[in-house]
Amino acid sequence: MDKRLKKLPTGIQTFEKIIKEGYIYVDKTPMLVNLIENGSMYFLARPRRFGKSLTLTTLEAMFQGKKELFKGLYAEQWLNRPEFKPSPVIRLSMNKVATKLGLHNMIDSINKHLCDVANLLEIELSNANNPGDLFSDLIFRMYRKHNEKVVILIDEYDKPYIDYIDDPAEAEKIRDILANLYVQVKANDEYTRFVLLTGISKFARMSVFSKLNNLTDISMREDYAAMCGITHEELLANFPDHIADTAESMQITEEELVARMEDFYDGFSFTGMVRLYNPYSTLRFFEDKCFDNYWFDSGTSTMVAKYLKNKNLTVEQFRNLPVSRDFVRNPGEMDSTPPEGFLYQNGFLTLREGTTNDYNFDYPNKEVLNAMSRLLSRKFLQTHYEDLSNLVNIHLSNRNIQGLVGDLNALLSSIPYDDYAKALEQKIEIQGFSFPAQEWLYRSSIFTFMRGCGLVVQAEMHTNRGRADLVLNYKGNIFILELKVAYKGESPQAKAAEAYAQIFEKNYDKPFQNPVCIGLAIDDEKRQITEYKY
């Protein structure tokens, strides 16, 4: 096919650049017009690299009346109304604030950013050295210069706060500084026409905005659910040539390509209903023509890795996790929210419809599930992770069961003693199914590691007579792993034989053609697989 495809706006956050330089733009202006027409003070939370900055630069161009940029878009008619009048715009990006050189340097960096914005807008500020005073001065002088109410757009409002997620004492100080800065929006309400603040988290909103209580939170509003991200319909309508080109390059049909993309990159939901593709991963996929963890590898992992450092978590505990509507709206502060609240704020968990009016948390898609698994595996394997991951792939390719068992024992040896001790104290129930604590820890660790290796693996796969512990699909070859724990006084050899027999007694093998069936016995005292049968 013709390779002269329209350019992909990967990593480009400026609306004007996208339009002028001929990149693909997915038209979100119907929702932006609706936003402007129906209110004036808003807050929106979305994960990293989800289009928040592009949303703000689009709004900036709309309010500035840059009509030539909107030809053919929904907002063109809105801009061409006789009564339309441009407004002066102040756009701040807290990503530009330096945070790693101490509190005083951070204050200086905020002041510098405010002064830089003022210079661009040809506004002369006072000599104040307090961020709140400078911001208030900027709003008022912008209003006085144009004799028009001001539009305020603030991107990544919580970035300085989140940079100190592993230091709650410093985070508290930063929160106070930001609260003093953002409260100026309310203090200068008489000079403002429209306000939108965006960020990753809602937990900072609880205290940073304790005085800024006139913002409408649209993060879970159905009418704005797709304002950031790409819907399935938008994917098909805006990227048909890239879909065709990528399918041809990968030698699969377009239908198969879209189905695999949906599995890998779709599934983010901020209302429980509308599902969205991750825009950054989708564009990178079309560029590289390879299914990979683009969003996770773009820097998302750094903050989450810090958070997970001293947490004993597994991948499975967050699958289909029931959660209340109140919790989703207000997950709590950084130092008090449970892990599911933190992971939700950062895009690792998303909403699914629950069986009542409430929701479930789950991983959005395969990309995020694999990424989370890899992050947790690396947490306790550290420098051995890549080596062990490569060995697993080699041993599965050669159907070397002895080698695979050796890999799994290396994994089990890396699980901290404290995790075992903690497991002994727990009663494990997942989706109504009870597990012995040790068996759950062993199985969950193996599942997490296999997922982290990028393998297709399912836990508790149902048949008509039971649930297989782990079903692994490696390049079309099926491996069924059933696991039993031999406690003190029990025979590991008998447990391995029991696990192997259960595969056939419960018909775990029936859905597949020529699967490799493996019964594993873990000696609980040694915490190693000491017997296996296949």
pLDDT in tens, the chain (534 residues): 556 899 999 999 999 999 999 999 999 999 999 999 999 999 999 998 999 999 999 999 999 999 999 999 999 999 999 999 999 999 999 999 998 888 889 999 999 999 999 999 999 998 888 999 999 999 999 999 999 999 999 999 988 888 887 787 888 888 888 989 999 999 999 999 999 999 988 766 666 667 777 789 999 999 999 999 999 999 999 999 999 999 999 999 999 999 999 999 999 999 988 999 999 999 999 999 999 888 877 666 666 777 776 676 777 778 888 888 888 888 877 667 888 888 888 889 999 987 666 899 999 998 998 888 887 777 666 657 677 778 888 888 888 999 999 888 888 887 765 555 555 555 555 445 555 666 777 887 888 888 877 787 877 544 445 578 888 888 888 999 999 989 888 999 999 999 999 999 988 888 888 899 999 999 988 889 999 999
Instruction: Map out the domains of the chain with their CATH numbers.
Output: 27-224 (3.40.50), 232-362 (no CATH), 372-533 (no CATH)
**Helix or strand (DSSP H, E) at 84:** none
Alpha helices in 64-130 (DSSP H): 75-79, 103-120
Can you give the pLDDT at residue 207? 64
pTM score: 0.84
Distance of CA 130 to the CA centre of its chain: 34
What pLDDT, on the 0 to 100 scale, is given for residue 460? 58
Looking at residue 304, its pLDDT comes to: 75
What confidence score (pLDDT) does residue 3 get? Answer: 62
Give 130's DSSP letter.
S
Chain length of the chain: 534
pLDDT recorded at residue 318: 84
- Token digits of residue 306: 């810090």
- The two three-digit tokens of residue 492, written as one number: 């590991």
- Residues 372, 363 contacting (CB under 8 angstroms): yes
Let me know if 240 is exposed, middle or buried by CB neighbors in 10 A (0-12, 13-18, 19+): exposed
Q: What does the alpha-carbon distance between residue 534 and residue 522 come to, in Å, rounded to a whole number?
A: 15
**Angle at Cα 476 formed by Cα 471 and Cα 481, nearest 5°?**
20
pLDDT value of position 93: 96
Please report the pLDDT score of residue 167 as a whole number: 80
Burial class, 305, CB count within 10 angstroms (exposed 0-12 / middle 13-18 / buried 19+): middle
3-state secondary structure of 196: strand
pLDDT (0 to 100) of residue 19 = 98
CA-only gyration radius of the chain, Å: 26
Asked whether 499 and 534 are in contact (CB, 8 A), the reply is no
Whole-number pLDDT of residue 264:
93
- CA distance to 18, 91, 235, 412, 450, per residue, from 245 (Å): 22, 38, 14, 44, 32
